[in-house]
Structure 1
Amino acid sequence: MSEVAYTARSETDRETATTTTRVERERDSANLKLPWIKRRVFFLFVAFAFCAAGAGVGLNAIIKLNNQVDAQGRLVSTTDMGVTIDINNVYVTGMLSVVACFGIVVTTAGFIAYTVWPRRSYGQYIMSQAVFLMAWTGWLFITLVAETAFYNTGRPRVVISGDVGTLRIDDLRAAYRPIKYLRNSIILLWFSWLAVFVCTSALFIAASQVKMSRSPGPKKYGLTAEELAALPKRDPGHRHDPDGLVPRKEKVPRPPPSALSGKDSSPVMSDTADVEKAPAAAEVVQ
């Protein structure tokens, strides 16, 4: 019978511990505040849209410029003379800007899906998202500054080679300014960078507002030797039940002992009667 009761109590304790753990997890999940969910999704989508448009327009402008330069070089070249137009200053920086925009598109798309996922208990990852997006923002900013500088003040390097030797023409200053599609692509890329910068700032602000209600200190399990020594001594058969889950049996008070007579009287009662009769016998003898 005792083994059955002990097994039942063990199962009850196990179920109680499981329920307590689940309740604590739900409470911790509820206490984890995820700020600016809709705003973060909005800013991420704006950055995604601008970078997608900027990457497409920028890639189209770079390809179109390269084809135009090749066509002009073939038009000027003859059998006795060859013309080479080098536009690597704008081409390389433009391609790096396009790569940065495509990277931001993929990153923001992943962050949007991660944010709107049904289980949104990912507040601790908002700061990681902000830092990752900040790296893309810095890359795009550096390449855009270089591309804008080359567009305003740079010049292509023209090399003419033929029977007379090689001739380099360096007087084609500000040769990129008349190209309108290149200018439009740079302007759109700057708007894309601005959208990504605002999105990154919003992520940093949201990450700073994430609060956990858990104690910042380490959790403490068990008791130290001093605490165990200070505890009152317990009966070895007593089972510790701080939650009061196991019902305790109340002790039934015993009835008071009743006076018995004759053969049923106890030896204690007979001894008491003999002690009371002894003084009376002594008085009779006297």
Structure 2
Amino acid sequence: MSFELLRDDLAGGPAEYLTPAVRPSLVEAQQWCKTLATTHYENFHVATWFLPKRVRPYFQSIYAFSRVADDLGDEVADPVLAANLLTTWQGMLDECYDEPARSRHPVFVALQQTIAETGVPRQLFSDLIHAFQMDQTVTRYESLEQLIGYSRYSANPVGRLVLWVSGYRDEERGLLSDKVCTALQLVNFWQDVVEDWERGRRYLPADAMQRFGVTDEHIAGRVFTPGFKQMMVFLTDYARTMLLEGGAISGTVDRELTVTLDLFRKGGEAAIDGIVAQGYDVLRARPSVSKTTKMQLLGGALVGKLGGLFSSDKPEARP
């Protein structure tokens, strides 16, 4: 879907994200978000298929917000310009909450319905923008604790947004979700060591590197040592334990949401298995999940979806 574009608000960012000159209708905005979600990240599209149809537009607007913000930070070479664009995006978010009639960007037109119908807090979206702002200035992490602090902004708000629009607002579930989301973020870092390094970033924590005798030179030269393997065993075990602990959330939500949460969690476990299967050598090639494993995950999710249609076992959402 194309709009006549206004060349100011997000100038300098990806052209497809520029603000339209004319405010789109809600239907047009929702279609824009749906297209972005289904063309940029297949796994998100598949996972949301297992959700109740009524809440899918909420998830698509949330994804679109996050996708644009991520690209404003990652796809703009100049960190100063990227930071300014993210500041603009925050201003557009504030306008969406404070003066919704002024919003013209399809993301915020679509997001207004999500906000109006679910009451989702502004801070969760602002936290995501904060994480992308951090990416412009922080390119090395000294400890696992620091990485977990980053995930508090970069990953955990996504899980809490999912819970919120699904009707679950209590802190107990929120903390379990945080563990799953943080673990998924860490696993992604462990998979992308070389790619991140080539982009000038290192998410392997310095304290773990020092503990196992790993240096930046090992990453730069793709030198896989026994110490590097021991470090990866430690880091992947750490993430797997978090996934296991956070996975308890699946027993506390309705069956349809459980299917989606389990799909993401099991995807994280499969990614860890991919690292293990590669002998923990993430320097040689990016570990991936095989097509067979993906089909097994989807098959299990489909069975869960069908089972949920005939089940009345739905834990009550607590405000």
Question: Under TM normalisation by the shorter chain, which class is it?
Answer: under 0.3
When normalised by structure 1's length, the TM-score is 0.23
Judging by fraction of residues, say which structure has more helix.
2
Q: Which structure has the larger Rg over C-alpha atoms?
A: 1
When normalised by structure 2's length, the TM-score is 0.21
